[in-house]
A and B are shown apart, each in its own frame.
Chain A
């Protein structure tokens, strides 16, 4: 069943504040961070937030912002892209093949908002296997390690 995508605004604050994508009492910090961001900051901080629903129930969230990819050395140029701030699925929808749908639908929304931005960056923790797998399935590849913890991923919008 295809999830229904809609734009989320501060009017959805209550729903987002209760969103849960974190399992157990002692989750990994990078998973907890994603949930915290969705609950408290995504609607205020990210340029665009999307809500994905099944029969009216909020089951997934994505958020993204405009970004500039700069190549400052040798033929300096800038390229306008999107940065995927967060993607989260509720616990009941995890490991059921929905992440690909959420990514592709998010990419479609990106193209609708600005057809000129044809690529997307993301950041994922090196030990967050599910996140890395989901990103790579959606066409983002590990571009460069940011530090000891995180990878920068990058890909063309599908």
Chain B
């Protein structure tokens, strides 16, 4: 198995009504109880829960992840209902469970899945940078990109890994351990071996003090004048500014 192989499987349940606690709990039995690394994408979109059944399922999943029941598995929950999403996030944050939440099972949406369980702002920023780097980072390249001391970069990566949101692969001291974001699509992954001498995304900008990320543009929110002008453009109205 190559270093970057992270088998991903989507789990779906035919039962739409999961308001019964026992039915809801049955879902978690589908997940593999294995020590191998991998990503389980559990599709809960369109399912009906009661607060009790949802709490039972998320509690079982969260405790299982934290307790190592699923080995080194990373979990992405697919949820379309905002209230369910918020409930999951509240529980994950409260108990520190390593859960990602995505809006669909599409690999691109999984790549954008939100880590909901108790990461600090700095840790969230670090995860974004790891993704921007191509799904992996070492202490050395993260420190260079974020202009951090090596010890600070190490602390960030190690803390995120301990919280269950990154994989860590031990390598010889000279190469440095590799931290991998499990959400990354296989085809989006720039292999570390091939990328060792290659330029890093945003390297040129960051080294010039420019923090803008021109590529994270899956959702752009506009307000005030920009929103008004964008709507005019969509209606085909020409600019009055000259």
User: Which A residues form the contact surface with B (CB < 8 A)?
Assistant: 10, 17, 29-30, 32-33, 36-37, 39-41, 44-45, 47, 65-73, 79, 83, 85, 118-119, 121, 123, 141, 143-144, 146-147, 149-150, 152, 154-156
Cα distance A67–B201 in the bound complex, in angstroms: 20
Q: Are B220 and A29 in contact (CB under 8 A)?
A: no
| Interface-facing stretch out of B73-81, B121-129, B210-218 | B210-218
Q: Are A144 and B222 in contact (CB under 8 A)?
A: yes
**When the two chains form the complex, which single residue of A65, A119, A149 contacts B212, counting CB atoms closer than 8 Å?**
A149
Q: Are B187 and A41 in contact (CB under 8 A)?
A: no
Q: Are B201 and A36 in contact (CB under 8 A)?
A: yes
Q: Are A68 and B205 in contact (CB under 8 A)?
A: no
Q: Offer 22 A-B interface pairs, CB within 8 angstroms, sorted by A.
A: A32-B204, A36-B199, A36-B203, A37-B215, A40-B195, A40-B199, A44-B189, A45-B201, A67-B219, A68-B220, A70-B221, A71-B227, A71-B230, A83-B218, A83-B220, A119-B233, A141-B233, A143-B222, A144-B222, A150-B214, A156-B233, A156-B236
Q: Are B230 and A68 in contact (CB under 8 A)?
A: no
Q: Are A40 and B222 in contact (CB under 8 A)?
A: no
B186's nearest neighbour on chain A, judged by CB, is A44
B198's nearest neighbour on chain A, judged by CB, is A40
Ranked 6 nearest A-B pairs via Cβ: A144-B226, A32-B204, A36-B199, A29-B208, A29-B204, A83-B217
Cα distance A22–B188 in the bound complex, in angstroms: 24
B188's nearest neighbour on chain A, judged by CB, is A44
Contacts of A118 in B (CB 8 A): 234
Contacts of B236 in A (CB 8 A): 156
Contacts of A150 in B (CB 8 A): 212, 214
The answer to whether residues A33 and B108 also contact, given A68-B218, A69-B220 and a CB cut-off of 8 A, is: no
Interface: B12 (CB within 8 A): no
The answer to whether residues A30 and B201 also contact, given A47-B108, A67-B218 and a CB cut-off of 8 A, is: no
Quote the shortest CB–CB distance from A136 to chain B (angstroms): 10
Q: Are B218 and A39 in contact (CB under 8 A)?
A: no
Name B22-61 residues within 8 Å CB distance of A. Answer: none
Cα distance A155–B208 in the bound complex, in angstroms: 29
Contacts of B199 in A (CB 8 A): 32, 36, 39-40
Cα distance A71–B127 in the bound complex, in angstroms: 27
Q: Which of B207, B210, B214, B239 has the most CB of A within 10 A?
A: B214
Name B168-194 residues within 8 Å CB distance of A. Answer: 187-190
Contacts of B195 in A (CB 8 A): 40
Contacts of A152 in B (CB 8 A): 220, 226
The answer to whether residues A36 and B220 also contact, given A44-B188, A154-B230, A156-B236 and a CB cut-off of 8 A, is: no
Contacts of B227 in A (CB 8 A): 71, 73
Interface: B134 (CB within 8 A): yes
Interface: B200 (CB within 8 A): yes
Cα distance A147–B212 in the bound complex, in angstroms: 8
Contacts of A44 in B (CB 8 A): 134, 187-190
Contacts of B220 in A (CB 8 A): 67-70, 83, 121, 152
Q: Are B229 and A121 in contact (CB under 8 A)?
A: no
Contacts of A47 in B (CB 8 A): 108
Contacts of B218 in A (CB 8 A): 65-68, 83
